[in-house]
Amino acid sequence: MANIEGLDHTGRSVPDVREGEDFYVSLLGAKHCNTIASATEDVRAGRGAPHPCNVLAGYLFVLFPHAKHLPLPDALKGEDGSRIAFAVSRQRFDDVVERAGDIGLSFEGPVTHPEHGPFGESIYFTDPGGNYMEICWRRDSDQARTRLAWEREAEAATA
């Protein structure tokens, strides 16, 4: 068994990494960590074009330029359900929807989920690279399987 300890990072490709980073920063509040291949030593190691690393709620993702031109999807929601979803508090969800409108983001929703389920509402959209994304609020946020919840369980198990 691999005994995975956690999610280390995700790589996402976009047509323009500067526009991509601006999207994550301006809409989702990501924080810039550093940019790989922005210094001579990285260039000499053949590390390719600059790829910025950003952190969002403890989640590290790296943006790369697409290796080749890829058509962007027409749909805002992956037909096969594939997407990365970020959670915000119920209070902030409306602000996020308003913010998305302010920056001219095309999104599907808000979609209201069944009341007996874990999710409250969601909006679905794509990032500049056509990667499917979701922002939601959860009805069970106090019991959510977040990284913090995992850490608490691990601490309790070893206590």
**What's the closest the beta carbon of residue 136 comes to another protein, in angstroms?**
30
Q: What is the CA radius of gyration of the chain?
A: 18
Least spacing, CB of residue 16 vs another protein, in Å: 5
CA angle 14/15/20 to nearest 5° reads: 50
Q: Which is nearer to another protein, 12 or 77 (CB)?
A: 12
Smallest separation, CB 21 to another protein (Å): 9
User: How far from chain centre, in Å, is Cα 72?
Assistant: 18
Question: Which residues contact residue 41 at a Cβ distance below 8 angstroms, ignoring those fewer than 6 apart?
Answer: none
Q: Report in angstroms how near the CB of residue 52 gets to another protein at its nearest.
A: 9
To another protein, the closest distance from the beta carbon of 47 in angstroms equals 7
Nearer to another protein, 48 or 101 (CB): 48
Burial letters for 41-73: b for 16+ Cβ neighbours within 10 Å, e otherwise? Answer: eeeeeeeeebbbbbeeeeeebbbbbeeeeeeee
Is-cis flag, bond preceding 15, omega within 30? no
Question: Which CB sits closer to another protein, 45 or 149?
Answer: 45
Instruction: Quote the CA–CA distance of 1 and 130 in Å, as a whole number.
Output: 33
- Reported as type and span, the H/E element at residue 138 is strand 132-138
Q: Give the footprint of another protein on this chain (CB under 8 A).
A: 15-18, 35, 37-40, 43-50, 65-70
Between 35 and 122, CB nearer to another protein: 35
